[in-house]
Structure 1
Amino acid sequence: MAAGAEVPQPVRAIMSGRDNGFCMNNDNTDGDSKDRYCEMITGKPPRPFAAIRHCVSTARLAGPSESELELDVKGSLSKLSAESGKTFTPVFRSGSWAEIGPKRYMEDEHICIDDLVEHLGTVSECPEPGAFYGVFDGHGGGDAAIFIRKNLLNFIVEDSHFPNAVGKAIRNAFMQADHAFADACSLDSSSGTTALAALIFGRTMIVANAGDCRAVLGKRGGKAIEMSRDHKPNCDIERLRIESLGGCVYDGYLNGQLSVARALGDWHMKGTKGSSCPLSAEPELREIVLSEEDEFLIIGCDGLWDVMTSQCAVTIVRRELIMHNDPERCSKELVREALKRNTCDNLTVVVVCFSADPPPRIEHPKSKVRRSISAEGLNNLRGYFD
């Protein structure tokens, strides 16, 4: 892409933090803007250990390995529709909430598209129904998060592999968006962002993650299933990859500078395009076929997961949905709870429901025999104790 070129048909973000007045940065500011960039450091600043309760994911990842994710969505949908007894059709509805938290500047962005076919129009042929959601946690400035939020979906649907091989299209889109950001000379290419996106066609959901945002699936009965892995530099898999490419992990930071092992942007750390670099923009993909057992998806930046376990978040959202069935209020409640737990970062949460109805209450028949605690009750207790 030529330097400074605009990417066509930008994707409209719903309730992004910057669009709702959370970010204090304005291109028309003078002295205050200069002070902001003087204060910015390359990566996310260290946080007080007393405020960080849960820094790494603990639940087991769902879905197959990456080698199994080059799926043909059209073929998958045809196969699913032909299966007997498989009549579940998800209904996508979402809500989001973002707050600046204790930081001086808001660098998070997010996007919620409940009807992908209507959103894209005639731009691309895609299976129906479809939805797209994403959270982008910026650092070192907001340029990278804004650019990726606006353009990532376009790169996915314009890729030659879309929609027949969606896994390849998503991987290519992450890399192309990263390179396009480097070529956008009007933007600060030293800023960076993590990116987590969920693309859903029919019952097939693919979660792509590069960084330490996290997606968690809420199952019937209140069980939490993690759909992404936190890409922290001191994670064994990431540390080995970093060291094999000549990098190092110092005090939990990639090359002593960045608190994530994968990110888009940060071109002062990547060198030339196409070269091997310890800081990777390649996403890790997970795929699942949704069923009646899948109630909702939570997507949040690390400001949430630093102070809350995946199970606790699912317990809170399920409880709230039973009360009022409003995913936006659920997102707000998670943000409020994270602030009460003294998170040190910006906060952005998206909750996606797969049904128009609230989760069912689990009723157990009365019995004279003393029962042990139910699976739902056990999950609720775990969430409350967390």
Structure 2
Amino acid sequence: MIVSPKMVAEAEVLCQYLCVPRGAANLQIDDVLDLPPSSPSPSSPILQAVRACPEPVGAEFVATRFESVVDCSDIIQEAVIESSTIKFVPSIRSGSYAEIGLRKSMEDEHIRIDDLSAEVGSLFRCSLPSAFYAVFDGHGGPEAAAYIKRNAMRLFFEDVDIPQISEINDIFLEELENCHRKAFLLADLALADECTVSSSCGTTALTALILGRHLLVANAGDCRAVLCRKGQVVEMSQDHRPSYLPERKRVEAVGGYFLDGYLNGVLSVTRALGDWEMKFPDGSPSPLIAEPDFRQIILTEDDEFLIIGCDGIWDVMSNQHAVSLVRRGMRQHNNPQQCARDLVMEASRLNTPDNVTAIVICFSSPDHSEAFPPPQRRRFRCCSLSEEARNRLKSLLEG
């Protein structure tokens, strides 16, 4: 059977309004559905399949009979999302805030560029909205983070020959990812040669590049990026810490070890730029590496904003806490700068011991940002049971 988008929508209506839990007595479909005006028509193949079932319809039927329809709906849903994203073009704006916190010195740095083409000129031309953001969380002194920020445009766009956009396709995105990987590694090598940066000084790094509706996040360390999609968290990075099992295995496979939760008894992260006293000569596997992990995503109208921040936030705040705080602020004043400040202030209130830096990147302009409607209470309709159904339910409850 060919599943059309209309049939998928009908199946979703049934799944949404069917209120029979798994294991409950079977009830007639008309008894348990309070279908809205958009409900399937009487001639719908979906409803016909339900009504043609010889037994009353319950949760088990939906779980088995509609399994193939739901699987097909996932594929169709992806196609619908892709179609909607073609029309969606983000209107990018951002705000940032940083505080020294309880530390004696400020070792965080960040970059916030809402119009990348205007910033880098001939190095990178893009007719689509483009933006670049980064957070660098230094350790062993502020020099490494400050150096990377100061030279970021050269390191990430000039020295790596970033590809010019002719068409954003899989080949271009792969080249872009390779260029960003190369930029992280070149930045790492540059710190080794920089006389103003100690070999015991380093920095974590997280970057977010937006080209039209494409978002690319690269991360080495424990800064974090979190996307808000209709109020829900979409994780856009993975912390490189000893507690992350794949990192533990990688480190131990090349002779590294952990002492009291620190890599080789020194660092709380397993990836960073710099820290050359802990790295092996070029070409040798090292417990501490600078190579980033990547996450790519196609933005849609459902994507409201991206938060990137140093670990001073995430040490005391869950992803959902941060997203909910920013979303609430955007409802009240629609100001990403104020939301970034609120994040930092909340982390301070929760007694974070670290420097704190946050960037909030919104994907819609103030004129086009929609007010979030209050959640609607679902209405349930009382249903009458046939005598046979009541007997079945009674026997089920009595065991």
Instruction: Provide TM-score, normalisation by structure 1.
Output: 0.71
RMSD: 2.1
SS of 1:86's equivalent? helix
> 1: distance between equivalents of 2:340 and 2:381?
37
Residue in 2 aligned with 1:156? 156
Q: Is residue 217 of structure 1 aligned with residue 227 of structure 2?
A: yes
Letter in 1 for 2:266: Q
Query: Closer, same or farther in 2 for the Cα pair 1:162/1:152, shift >3 Å?
Result: farther
- The alignment status of 1:226 with 2:235, answered yes or no, reads yes
Q: Which among 171, 174, 185 is matched to residue 184 of structure 2? A: 174
Q: How far does the alpha carbon of each residue in 1:271-305 deviate from its partner, in whole angstroms, 9 at most, with x for none?
A: 32332210010000000000000000000100100
- 1:88 equivalent to 2:111? Answer no
Residue aligning to 1:49: none
CA contact (8 A) 1:127 1:201 kept: no
Distance in 2 (CA, whole Å) between partners of 1:225 and 1:120 is 29
Q: Secondary structure of the equivalent of 1:246?
A: coil
Q: Work out whether residues 206 and 223 of structure 2, in 8 Å CA contact, stay in contact via their aligned partners in 1.
A: yes
Task: Provide structure 1 residue ranges, at least 5 long, that are not aligned to the other structure.
Answer: 1-79, 372-386
Q: Is 1:311 aligned with 2:317?
A: no
- Cα offset, 1:122, TM superposition: 1.7
Structure 1 residue 319: deviation in Å? Answer: 0.3
Q: Is the 8 A contact 2:232 2:320 kept in 1?
A: yes
1:310-329 alignment runs, 5 A limit? 310-329=319-338
> Is the aligned partner of 1:291 residue 2:300?
yes
Aligned-partner Cα distance in 1 for 2:268–2:189: 21
Partner of 1:279: 288
User: Within 5 A, what are the aligned runs for 1:345-356?
Assistant: 345-356=354-365
TM-score normalized with structure 2 length:
0.69
What's 2:372 paired with? 361
**What's the offset of the Cα at 1:219?**
1.1
For 1:122, what is the secondary structure of its paired residue? helix
**What pairs up with 1:26-105 in 2 under 5 angstroms?**
86-105=86-105
Does the 8 A contact of 1:318 with 1:359 survive in 2?
no
Structure 2: gaps (5+ residues): 1-79, 165-171, 383-399
Structure 1, residues 156-193: CA drift from partner, whole Å, max 9, x if none? 32324534310000000000011011111233232100
Q: Distance in 2 between matches of 1:123 and 1:287?
A: 22
The question of whether the paired residues in 2 share the 8 Å contact of 1:91 and 1:355 is answered with: yes
Name the structure where helix makes up a greater proportion of residues: 2
- Secondary structure in structure 1 of the residue aligned to 2:155: helix
2:377 and 2:104 mapped to 1: Cα distance? 54
Given that 1:321 and 1:359 are in contact with CA atoms closer than 8 Å, whether structure 2 keeps it comes out as no
Take 1:111 and 1:367, find their aligned partners in 2: how far apart are those partners? 44
Larger Rg: 2
3-state SS of 2:329 partner: helix
> For residue 257 of structure 1, what is the amino acid of its counterpart?
V
- Contact residue 252 and residue 259 of structure 1 kept, 8 A: yes
Q: What letter corresponds to residue 213 of structure 2 in structure 1?
A: R
1:201 counterpart = 2:211: yes
* Post-superposition offset of 1:197: 0.3
Letter in structure 2 aligned against 1:152:
A
In 1, are the aligned partners of 2:96 and 2:360 still within 8 Å (CA)?
Answer: yes
Matched-pair contact (CA < 8 Å) for 2:240–2:269: yes
Shift of 1:85: 7.3
Mapped contact 1:161–1:168 kept (Cα < 8 A): no
| Residues 303 and 366 of structure 1: CA distance in aligned 2, closer, same or farther (over 3 Å) | closer
- Amino acid of the structure 2 residue aligned with 1:288: I
Larger mean CA deviation between 183-192 and 165-174 belongs to 183-192
Q: Give, in angstroms, the shift of residue 148 of structure 1.
A: 1.4
Give the aligned residue type for 2:177.
G
